Amino acid sequence: MTEFQSLGLSDTLIKAIEEMGYTTPTPIQTQAIPHILERKDLLGLAQTGTGKTAAFGLPLAHRLLEEDKRPEPKAARALILAPTRELVNQIAANLVSFIRETPLRVTSVVGGVSINPQIKRLGRGTDILVATPGRLLDLVDRKAVHLDKASYLVLDEADQMLDLGFIHALRRIAGLVSKKRQTLLFSATMPRQIEDLAGTYLNNPQRVEVAPAGRTADKVAQSVHFVGQKEKTQFLVDMIIGRPDDTCLVFCRTKHGAERLMKKMVASGVSAGSIHGNKSQSQRDRAIKGLRDGSIKVLVATDVAARGIDIPGVSHVYNFELPEVAEAYVHRIGRTARAGADGDAVSLCSPEEYGLLRQIEKLTGVSVKVESGDVPAKALPVGKMRTQRSRKRQPEKAKAAGGDNDNQNRQAKFKRRPRRQSRAAHAA
Ligand code: AMP
C-alpha cells in the first residue's frame, strides 16, 4: 500500500498523481487529507510550495466522487477562492490533472478576460469552481452562477486575499454558499485578521501547521547586499549577467519600477520579461510561460502579480526592493526551492530599507547573511521610511494591479470613491 493509499484516497486519483510524479505525500498533505476526508473544517498553515493544492484538491475530488452527483445548471458543488488570476489558473490546472480520469468538471473564472465565455461555461454547472472573489461576485450578480449548492468552500492564500481588500467580498460569498458546507482555510502567515476570519467561518476546525507562521522556506539560502538605491540596477544586472544558468524572479515595489528594470536588463542583453498590474492577462501568461520554458531567464514582478506562482525551475529570487510588509518576503522567497529543490533569495537593501530588513528578520527568526556592503549604522523607523518613500512612488495598488473585479473597475470610472472609504470597503 502506498502512503497516498493509506491516507484513504481513491485509486483513480492516486493513479493520476503517480503519473504526475507524486510518490510520497508532503507533510501538509499527510496532515490535512485525513481531516478533510472526515469532513472536518480545517485551518491550514503552510509555507508556500509545500503541496497545499493537492492537500485540499485531492480529498475534495475524492469526496465529490463519493457523493456521485452531477452539478445542476449554473451551480457549483465546490468553490475554491484564490487572490490572483495566476493562482486560480494554477490551482485549476492542478485539479484538472488530478481528476482527468474522472467525470468531474473543473471551471475557473478570473477578471481581466471576457466574461461571456465564463457565463456560457457556467450554464452547464460545474463540480469545482475556482475563482477570484471579484469576478465571482460579478457573475453572481449577473445570475450566471448560484452558490447555494456549494457544500465545500476553500479559501486559499487567505492572508493575501485580505491584503488585497477582499474581506467584504469573502463575507458576502460565504453568506451565499450552503450553510451545511465544509470550509477549508489556507494561509502562509497568520495575522490577527485571519484568526478572526477563521473564528467566524470555520466550525470547530482542525488546525494543521507545517511550519510556524511567517517561517521562511527551509531550503532557501538567504543573503543580502547593502547597496544604495541608485546603484541597485547596475548591481543586479551585473550579478545576473555573471550567472547565466540561473532562472530568476526579481521583485520590485512598483509596476513602473518593474518595467524600467526589465527594459534595462533587456538593453544589457539579459532575456527578461515582466509581470505586473499594467500587463494584460495574455501578456502575463506569456511571461510566465517564457520563464517556465526557458525562453526568458529573468521575470521582473510586483508582489500582486506574482503571488502563488509555481515555476519549479526558479533558482533565484531577487528582492530588488524589500517589501513593506514583512509577510510578503516569506511569500516572495517561497517562489524558489519549491517541491524539495534548493534555492537562493538575494536581497538588495538600501540604507533606508534597513528597518524593513530588521522587521523581516524578526518575523522569520532568521538572520539574513550579509554578502557585501556596509551594514547601516541605524535602522530608520519603518513608518517614517514608508512616508518618505510613498511621496516619491506609490507601490502597486492591489485593485489596480489585480484588476480582478471588472464591475468594480467599471463603476470606479463613474463614481468617485468617498474619501474616508477604505480600500477594503471599496473591494466589496
Ligand atoms: P503547491 O504548494 O500546491 O503550489 O505545490 C508546489 C509544487 O509541489 C507543485 O509543483 C506541485 O506539483 C508539487 N507537489 C505537490 N505535492 C507533491 C508530492 N506529493 N510529490 C511531489 N511533488 C508535489
Which pLDDT tens digit goes with each residue over 215-264? 555 678 899 999 999 999 999 999 999 988 888 999 999 999 999 999 99
Residue pair 19/185 in contact (Cβ under 8 Å)? The answer is no
Map out the domains of the chain with their CATH numbers: 5-209 (3.40.50.300), 220-393 (3.40.50.300)
Ligand 1 centroid from CA 329, angstroms:
21
Closest-lying ligand 1 atom to the alpha carbon of residue 49: 2
CA 411 to the chain's CA centroid: 26
User: Considering only 189-193, 222-226, 390-394, which range has the smallest mean pLDDT?
Assistant: 390-394
pTM of the model: 0.66
- pLDDT tens digits, residue range 303-332? 876 665 777 788 899 999 999 888 888 888
Residue 381: pLDDT band by 50, 70, 90 thresholds? low
Distance CA 253, CA 215 (A): 22
Ligand 1 centroid from CA 131, angstroms:
20
Q: Copy the grid coordinates of residue 399.
A: 485593485
The phi-psi region of residue 106 (left if phi > 0; otherwise alpha if psi is between -120 and 50; otherwise beta) is beta
Q: What is the pLDDT of residue 73?
A: 97
Q: Is 310 in the pocket of ligand 1 (CB under 6 A)?
A: yes
Ligand 1 centroid from CA 300, angstroms:
24
Q: Is 335 in the pocket of ligand 1 (CB under 6 A)?
A: no
Ligand 1 centroid from CA 273, angstroms:
25
Mutate which of 13, 22, 28, 330 for ligand 1? The one with the most ligand atoms within 8 Å of its CB, which is 22
Ligand 1 centroid from CA 87, angstroms:
14
Mutate which of 186, 310, 311, 330 for ligand 1? The one with the most ligand atoms within 8 Å of its CB, which is 310
Q: How many CA atoms lie within 13 A of 8 on its CB side?
A: 18
CA angle 137, 143, 146 (to 5 degrees): 70
